[in-house]
A and B are shown apart, each in its own frame.
Chain A
Amino acid sequence: MNPDKSNLKKRLLKNNVFYQSIKLFSYALLIPLAFILFYIIKNGISYLNLDFLIKMPAPVGETGGGALNAIIGSFLIVGLSGLIAVPLGILIGIFLAEFKEHKINDLTRLSIETLQGIPSIIYGIVAYVWFVMPFGKFSGISASIALALMMLPMVAKATEESMKMIPYTLKEASYALGANYYSTIKKVILPSCRKGIISGILIGISRILGETAPLLFTAFGNAFLNFNMAKPINALPLLIYNYASSPYQEWHQIAWSSSLFLIIIVLGLSIIAKNVIK
């Protein structure tokens, strides 16, 4: 073979240009991310102090104040969603992993996967029709149901995936000791896939904590401090949305601090979730 020198050079050059541009495009994404984080930290840090956590939003025209009502609202809404989604999600996950031969297993999996792909705003509409229309008022409970339905597939999938990892011998050993199905699942299988399930739950919580669309016509928002889940209630993402679209500088300030606070919690939860599995 007679290697054509100039052709080889051309090929190597092409290769080099390709490699460098791929690298460039990959690392270029750091720029917008840095911009986003920079602005949120720069604008949010000055008011992210103790007052932010324990005070109500200040009236228009006054600086300072906090987001106490939104923090409590978010905590209540997400807490109730977790109480609904976690047990039901784990049970559905066990069903998916264990009852493979059952006639509805495939259908259940399809439903869970379809549910996972439904746009978040649709959850808002459905929760509105189910729980706001009949009672004639917005409520924290309706928001919790919407978010619980969003979280359900995540918990179910995480449970199913981590149960698949458990070797069958573990189950056999438990049966050999005379344990029945219930005790085997409860005392042997679930504890050994604890990490995967917990990580799934944490990821689910961090996802729904930042969800806004399902809350728009369910929780609706509330300018006052409210512990009553049967009434309209505020939440951090709702506060960011409402204050962001307001014309007041002070409210933008609180929205920036809330964004920083929310990002810290959401990203913190997903980091914990990743480390739990390791």
Chain B
Amino acid sequence: MIKIPIAKKNKLFINILKLTGYVAIAILVLFLITLIFNSFLSIKTLSLQFLFNTNWQPNTKNFGAAPFIIGTLLTSVLALMISIPFSLSISIYIGYFLKNKKRKNTLETLMDLLAGIPSVIYGFWGLMVLVPVIIKIQAWLGIIPYGVGILAASLILALMIIPYSVTLGKDIINLVPNDLVEAAIGLGATPYEVIKHIAIPYSLSGLFAGHLMAFGRAISETMAVTMVIGNRNFIPTSIMDPANTLASVIANEFGEASDPLYVSSLIELGLILLVITTIINIIGKLIVKAYTIEPR
């Protein structure tokens, strides 16, 4: 091997570092170009109509994204609504009340466990355990017992996104300045009043950001949803209906799509998904960034 002199090595190293900075940007740009370029056929042929068309019939080349956009919003909003009482409670409990290290650790480990379970296992469990329970309830209520559907997907999703809003939420609540809290206590406020009138108003935008990012996770979650949502390409009329989300229809149909327009419109669905989640993430991060600078 040729021995490279140390000064040259140094120069080379610095150049490689700078190059990798460009590589990271290039990867993202290539990502976007790939998605835009490959959905071009669909964008050109179907134009804006794609977003509002309520039919998805690959065999007649009739492609519309509306059922999936509505399905995605419905499942994610429902999941968020189910998760909020839990995530707020845990954020307040860990961030404000718990001073006991051991209990704090228990709850934090619980969050880590929930966040660590792979989504395909959530889906499998949902399919094998949760769906049969829902079938029984639906049969008892006298509705068509699909079992799979928006309700099952939202329940599983709610469980999966709780850790995401809590990680941010508990830190934000913890950031509430102590002198404010102490002043309130000094005036005779109960803990409930401190939280209602001091902690929550102070950390409102941070809590909002945490839940917004959890909402983004719910939108982009694929496997667990694909397995329990029932994969039906119509606009759902109730939360008991089987449906499809943007991510789940891609997971389900991309592998077997052969017609170029079919493939292209699936990729456009991916592009829509990417745009929505990226906007949500950027808004969330901007709010959090404003936070970490403000208290100093």
Contact = CB atoms under 8 A, between A and B. Distances in A.
Contacts of A30: 110
Contacts of B22: 104, 108
B49 interface: no
Interface in A70-103: 88, 91-92, 94-96, 98-99, 102
Contacts of A39: 125, 128-129
Interface in A110-126: 111-115, 117-122, 124-126
Interface string B268-289: 0010011001100110010000
A121 B251 contact: yes
Nearest to B115: A270
A32 B227 CA distance: 18
B69 interface: no
Interface stretch (A57-65, A162-170, A175-183): A175-183
Contact of B7 (A119, A124, A180, A211): A180
B209 interface: no
B118 A266 contact: yes
Contacts of B94: 26
Given A29-B86, A266-B118, A104 B220 contact: no
A119 B192 contact: no
B247 interface: yes
Contact of B281 (A88, A114, A128, A262): A114
Interface stretch (B10-18, B55-63, B175-183, B236-244): B10-18
A241 interface: yes
B222 A22 contact: no
Interface in A140-160: 149, 152, 156
Interface residues of B, number: 77
Given A98-B17, A183-B6, A129 B90 contact: no
A66 B9 CA distance: 50
B21 interface: yes
A130 interface: yes
Contacts of B124: 240-241, 244, 255-256, 259
Contacts of B193: 11, 15
A267 B113 contact: yes
Interface in A210-242: 210-213, 216-217, 220, 237, 240-241
Interface stretch (B26-34, B40-48, B73-81): B26-34
Contacts of A37: 113
Contact of B251 (A28, A99, A102, A213): A213
A107 B25 contact: yes
Contact of B192 (A18, A152, A256): A18
Instruction: Decide if the interface of chain A is mainly helix, strand, loop or mixed.
Output: helix
A198 interface: no
Q: Which of B86, B116, B254 has the most CB of A within 10 A?
A: B116
A40 interface: yes
A122 B23 contact: no
Contacts of B251: 121, 213, 216
A120 to B, nearest CB: 6
Q: Which of B21, B227, B281 has the most CB of A within 10 A?
A: B21
Contacts of A125: 35, 250, 254, 266-267, 270
B134 interface: no
A36 interface: yes
B35 A22 contact: no
Interface string B85-98: 11001101110010
B290 interface: no
20 contacts: A19-B191, A39-B128, A88-B20, A96-B21, A111-B27, A114-B278, A117-B281, A118-B31, A118-B274, A121-B273, A125-B266, A130-B34, A180-B7, A182-B9, A182-B10, A213-B223, A213-B251, A216-B255, A245-B127, A267-B113
Interface of B: 6-7, 9-10, 13-14, 16-18, 20-25, 27-29, 31, 34-35, 38, 85-86, 89-90, 92-94, 97, 107, 110, 112-114, 116-125, 127-129, 159, 162, 190-193, 195, 216, 219-223, 227, 247, 250-251, 254-255, 266-267, 270, 273-274, 277-278, 281-282, 285
Given A95-B17, A216-B251, A216-B255, 19 more contacts: A18-B195, A22-B89, A22-B92, A35-B129, A104-B22, A108-B24, A113-B281, A113-B285, A118-B274, A119-B219, A119-B221, A121-B270, A125-B266, A126-B35, A129-B34, A213-B251, A240-B124, A266-B117, A266-B118
